[in-house]
Structure 1
Amino acid sequence: MRTRIAIAGGGLGGLTLARILHRHGIDAVVYDREASRSARPQGGALDLHPESGQLALAEAGLAGQFRSEARPEGEEHRILDPTGRTLVHHVPHPGSFSGRPEIDRGALRDLLLDSLPDDTVAWRHRLVAATHRPAEGWDLTFDDGQRASCDILIGADGARSAVRSLLTDVELSYVATLVQLSVVDVDRRHPDLAELVGPGNLWCIGVNQILAAQRLGDGSLQVGISLRAEDQPLDTYRSKQALLDLFAGWNPRLTALIEAAESAPTPRLIEAMPIGTRWTSRPDVTLIGDAAHLMPPVGEGANQAMLDAAELAGQLAANPADPNSAIRTYEESMFSRIHPIAEMSARVQAMMLSPTAAEDIVRFFTRPAEAARKD
């Protein structure tokens, strides 16, 4: 009898898991809340780390496709102060894939989707409840009343995971506010901003606030404003004028990133799970990615989700007769791996939104290589 695996969530972690399982001859169904693969934009770019995201893509047999889509030049990173003075300017070696090349999230997701059989993803399926059967397996209920069943349920359903509550009642904490905007066709319409940001990332660091921009492969800029956690309602940040008021006194060359945005600002809360979150392993269910270890967005989330997927798929493939043993082995390894990464992510998040952020971040990016490796 074949084991039926259900993956809740069709993000990068869930799709990586489905792809690696497929390579091992193990079928899985991915249930995703979106109406289709193109239902909404997938956000900005991410840098894939050799020891995590890139390793997972190699396990998925997609390293070559990744290299054809990735942008090594996207590693270029500029850090400025509010006057526009350059504090750090990192320029990668031209054409080198030895570091952490950037790839648009949408391109990476498409790469994974294209590698799977057409019927792998069940769109318009937002999981709202899972009931454990008396013997084994799960009965699944989706938001429109549809039902399904599986032998193993894997939660890859992000920050607000419905599967997480089956394993832990941990509460999320509010750590920051992020406001996003977009500037399209930047080379033609805003060449000055294209030059300011360059081919990669720009951070403009003030006191308790950051104005950042990221170049995407489609010629647009994703602009992000990071603010400390506070009691202000999100609606406070839905107008460009309100955002410009936050950066009063900054160099107009920098605040032009806000003025040039075509769309209305989109604010959202940034939350995190407590560092060291664990749960007692339970038969037939586990978590990967943000569902398992939601951290501040400082560059590790997608990479660790994909590595979770690779490690879990490897354990399930190596021990098909005892999937619960495979899940326990994966969980213990994941807990140990994530703990120092979650600690580092929390430190970086706090450092970036502090009164001394500029000095601290310059020190962080210019420290000796050996010290950097310890983090």
Structure 2
Amino acid sequence: MNSIAIVGAGLGGLACARVLQLHDIDVTVFEQEASADARPQGGTLDLHGDTGQVAMHTARLHEQFRALARPEGQQMRAVDPRTGETVFDESPAEGDDFRPEIDRGQLRGLLLDSLSPGTVRWGRPIADVTKTGEGARLTFADGADQDFDLVVGADGAWSRVRRTLTGVRPEYSGVTFVEFGLDDADHRHPALAALTGQGTLMTKVDGNALVAQRTSTGHIRCYATFYAPEDWATGLDFADTAAVRAQLLERYAGWHPSVLAFLHELDGGFTHRPLQVLPVPHAWTHTPGLTLLGDAAHLMPPLGVGANLALLDGTELATALATAPSVGEAVRTYETGMLPRSIETAKACATGLHDLLGDDLRSMAA
């Protein structure tokens, strides 16, 4: 097997590198961030038994994953935003671990620790990706370049590898997330902790939703979610916590005080996350030397499938590279399975995004 580069040290790229190394295949991961701790890794995610957990089995990390996972995090609660009354509260049955939660940072750390030292080259941003016959060349921000037989774009929403392969850029979905949080590790927010439960709380009406999720540390990560034009926040300084809170309280006017307490009691500030997606379908003609996985290939609404698909993409690509007679045949095999799957899932997620903001709270109980 010849030289392989993975651009991006996210979950999918790391899972791909792990399985390649299990098969004694040399791989280098290039990451623009300076270190594994350069920024927070986000909240919690659920690994599905038929996708993400399959990938963890392939990576021979399932037992380590289970030791960190929280089956109780599958609890789903919904309250009426006007009255604060519970609409449903569903906890997992004993032994149900089809979609246990795990903190994204914990899962990334597990994958990083499984790799050989030096696999990830931190602080190596990519300036350009070019085709070179049957392979591809990476040009780094410092001007250096290096050729590879295969460059895997695992570099997320704004992938530089995708620019070379398809040129397609994400588009605004019409939905905005405003993220904030509460630190309940020392039980400072007992009422909100009880309202959230062990997993996810949802409340919504009239195209406005609020979601709260518990992490392993007791932190409660919250998302104000709503339809809005792309320029809705023009002139709003997200460093001004009071101003952002006032804007959100106006949007959520009439909601029950028990729910609005999430906005009143937050610890820290707000982060604006306009929801970007790739058009559906997003596909490409097989191009020797290049391929994509995860959000670089199929950026979709964050409805619990993105990390699962990224992990499955990475492990399936690595398995194909370990078993096919050539790099080109391996990539063809991988893309033949991945592209139809991602297109169908992206279609379902587009529908699911509108269900998320619909008025039927029980739609979240599935």
Answer yes or no: same fold by TM over 0.5: yes
Measured after TM superposition, the shift of residue 342 of structure 1 is 0.9
Contact 1:186 1:221 in 2 (8 A): no
Moved more, 231-240 or 28-37: 231-240
Give me the whole-angstrom Cα distance separating, in 2, the residues matched to 1:185 and 1:344: 34
Quote the residue 2:194 is aligned against.
195
Contact 1:240 1:264 in 2 (8 A): no
TM-score, normalised via structure 2 length: 0.94
Over 3 Å counting, the alpha-carbon distance change for 1:101 and 1:322 in structure 2 is same
Matched-pair identity in %? 43
Measured after TM superposition, the shift of residue 142 of structure 1 is 2.2
Quote the residue 1:341 is aligned against.
345
Give me the whole-angstrom Cα distance separating, in 2, the residues matched to 1:76 and 1:4: 44
Quote the residue 1:92 is aligned against.
92
| Match among 136, 139, 145 for residue 134 of structure 2 | 136
Contact 1:158 1:290 in 2 (8 A): yes
Does residue 303 in structure 1 map to residue 313 in structure 2?
no
| Match among 140, 145, 148 for residue 146 of structure 2 | 148
Give me the whole-angstrom Cα distance separating, in 1, the residues matched to 2:183 and 2:277: 31
Please give the root-mean-square deviation of Cα atoms over the aligned residues, in Å.
1.6
The alignment partner of 1:49 has SS state of: coil
- The aligned runs of 1:64-83 (5 Å cut-off) are 64-82=63-81, 83=83
| Match among 156, 159, 165 for residue 158 of structure 1 | 156
Measured after TM superposition, the shift of residue 171 of structure 1 is 3.6
Give me the whole-angstrom Cα distance separating, in 2, the residues matched to 1:62 and 1:178: 32
Moved more, 290-299 or 181-190: 181-190
Give me the whole-angstrom Cα distance separating, in 2, the residues matched to 1:350 and 1:236: 26
Measured after TM superposition, the shift of residue 89 of structure 1 is 1.5
The alignment partner of 1:113 has SS state of: helix
Quote the residue 1:236 is aligned against.
236
Matched to 1:271, the amino acid is: Q
Moved more, 167-176 or 35-44: 167-176
Moved more, 177-186 or 16-25: 177-186
Measured after TM superposition, the shift of residue 151 of structure 1 is 1.7
Give me the whole-angstrom Cα distance separating, in 1, the residues matched to 2:136 and 2:287: 12
Contact 1:210 1:225 in 2 (8 A): yes
Contact 2:177 2:275 in 1 (8 A): yes
The alignment partner of 1:148 has SS state of: strand
Contact 1:186 1:193 in 2 (8 A): no
Give me the whole-angstrom Cα distance separating, in 1, the residues matched to 2:93 and 2:44: 19
Over 3 Å counting, the alpha-carbon distance change for 1:241 and 1:74 in structure 2 is same
Structure with the bigger RCO (C-alpha within 8 Å, sep 6+) is 2
Does residue 6 in structure 1 map to residue 5 in structure 2?
yes
Give me the whole-angstrom Cα distance separating, in 2, the residues matched to 1:307 and 1:324: 19
Does residue 207 in structure 1 map to residue 184 in structure 2?
no
The alignment partner of 1:189 has SS state of: coil
Moved more, 280-289 or 326-335: 326-335
Give me the whole-angstrom Cα distance separating, in 1, the residues matched to 2:28 and 2:159: 17
Quote the residue 2:241 is aligned against.
none
Give me the whole-angstrom Cα distance separating, in 2, the residues matched to 1:185 and 1:89: 21
| Match among 317, 327, 334 for residue 330 of structure 1 | 334
Contact 1:140 1:148 in 2 (8 A): yes
- The aligned runs of 1:114-133 (5 Å cut-off) are 114-133=113-132
State how many pairs are aligned: 358
Give me the whole-angstrom Cα distance separating, in 1, the residues matched to 2:271 and 2:89: 28
Give me the whole-angstrom Cα distance separating, in 2, the residues matched to 1:223 and 1:265: 10
Measured after TM superposition, the shift of residue 140 of structure 1 is 1.2
Does residue 279 in structure 1 map to residue 289 in structure 2?
no
Q: Deviations over 1:315-355 (max 9, x none)?
A: 11111x411111111111111212221111000101222xx
Contact 2:166 2:284 in 1 (8 A): yes
Quote the residue 2:356 is aligned against.
352
Over 3 Å counting, the alpha-carbon distance change for 1:145 and 1:97 in structure 2 is farther
Matched to 2:236, the amino acid is: T
Which 5+ residue runs of structure 1 have no aligned equivalent?
Answer: 367-375
Quote the residue 1:369 is aligned against.
none
Q: Return structure 1 stretches of 4+ with deviation > 4 angstroms.
A: none
Matched to 2:250, the amino acid is: D
Measured after TM superposition, the shift of residue 309 of structure 1 is 0.8
Measured after TM superposition, the shift of residue 165 of structure 1 is 1.5
Matched to 1:72, the amino acid is: P
Contact 1:167 1:281 in 2 (8 A): no
Give me the whole-angstrom Cα distance separating, in 2, the residues matched to 1:272 and 1:234: 21
Moved more, 175-184 or 234-243: 234-243
Over 3 Å counting, the alpha-carbon distance change for 1:255 and 1:15 in structure 2 is same
Matched to 1:328, the amino acid is: R
Q: Deviations over 1:207-245 (max 9, x none)?
A: 111111110111111111111141313653722222222
The alignment partner of 1:195 has SS state of: helix
TM-score, normalised via structure 1 length: 0.92
